[in-house]
Amino acid sequence: MPAITADTLTLPRIAAPKASDTERPVRSITTGPRGYEGEGFPVVRAFAGVSAADLDPFVHMDQMGEVEYQPGEPRGTDWHPHRGFETVTYMIDGRFAHQDSHGGGGLITDGATQWMTAGSGILHIETPPAELVESGGTFHGIQLWVNLPRTDKFATPKYQAIEGNEAKLLSSQDGGSLVRIIAGEIDGAQGPGATHTPITMAHATVEPGAQLNLPWNRDFNALVYVLSGRGSVGPVGHPIHQGQLAVFGPGDRITVTAEGTQDSNRPALEILLLGGRPIREPVFHYGPFVMNSKAELIQALEDYQSGKFGQIPADALMPHRPFN
């Protein structure tokens, strides 16, 4: 995985637990079903089967790939609308091009994150660049939807480009894990992402046999999704593997341990750590809109159809379809 790497022995270490700290127990482990998104790229529906209350403030997450495309196969999405939440695209391996109707855009590549606040309404596209479509190659990433509270549903749309080398890096106490903080705070270290809803998002690599034990904000929920590899989670050591999501109960710290032996093509346990302060407001979710009522969903659809989300730019990026 080409997401940003570093020598863990030279990084700040996460502090050991205090005597008063409590371990968060595992509340559930679910397996995400596989499906297809956009123009046909494969995804794992990471949050399937998990209650909205356990996920709050998160709404939806897909693991995109990991897939090795042949020439002509890479797919993305065409232009589409969003309102009422933030979309987060984290590219672990490969390249995705983004453009939106409010002037945001760029290339998201190995370890970079695109953070788009849809707010009052936006049109955007995410698609592999033409050269990747022609050549084929590895594609692996995460698409996460973060809800916005009622007070921010109609915020002005915003775009943040977070490069891989901007993530805040930490090492576990035993030096066997690399933690990349994309947004929020872990053990006093702050990630670069600016969010309306208080959350923490991090990608950790846990080497075979190593254990990651880290503090977690008591006011946040706690989720661990396995991108690849095998290991265990929580104080009891519940087994977990690629495509599974662990939901934790209350407490001060999270523990994740990698199995001593991993598959040859999965040399370490790769996990996504997520948590946020629950919004605890009604959620009405329909397609690309996440609102507080059915009436607001209907209004969002009408506003989109009447052109209030902006216009597709004259120089618009479009999906590249090679000549057959």
Residues that constitute the known binding site for Fe cation: 80, 82, 124, 126
SS3 134: helix
State the Cα–Cα distance between residues 96 and 81, nearest whole angstrom: 18
Q: Is cis: bond before 73, omega within 30 of 0? A: no
- Alpha-carbon distances of 164 from 14, 167, 193, 197, rounded to whole Å: 20, 6, 12, 22
State the Cα–Cα distance between residues 229 and 244, nearest whole angstrom: 10
Give the residue carrying structure tokens 């302060």.
Answer: 277
- Contact (CB, 8 A) for 79 and 126: no
- Contact (CB, 8 A) for 127 and 97: yes
State the Cα–Cα distance between residues 81 and 301, nearest whole angstrom: 9
Binding residues: 80, 82, 124, 126
DSSP of 27-64: EEEEEPPEEEETTTEEEEETTTT--HHHHTTEEEEEEE
Q: Which residues contact 224 (CB under 8 A, 6 or more apart)?
A: 233, 240, 245, 246, 248, 254, 256, 271, 272, 273, 274
State the Cα–Cα distance between residues 85 and 289, nearest whole angstrom: 8
| Residue from 36, 156, 167, 179 nearest 101 by CA | 156
Question: What does R_g of the chain's alpha carbons equal in angstroms?
Answer: 19
Phi, psi of 147 (to 5 degrees): -70, 155
Question: b/e string for 211-245 if b means 16 or more Cβ within 10 A?
Answer: bbbbbbbeebbbbbbbbbbbbbbbeeeeebbbbbb
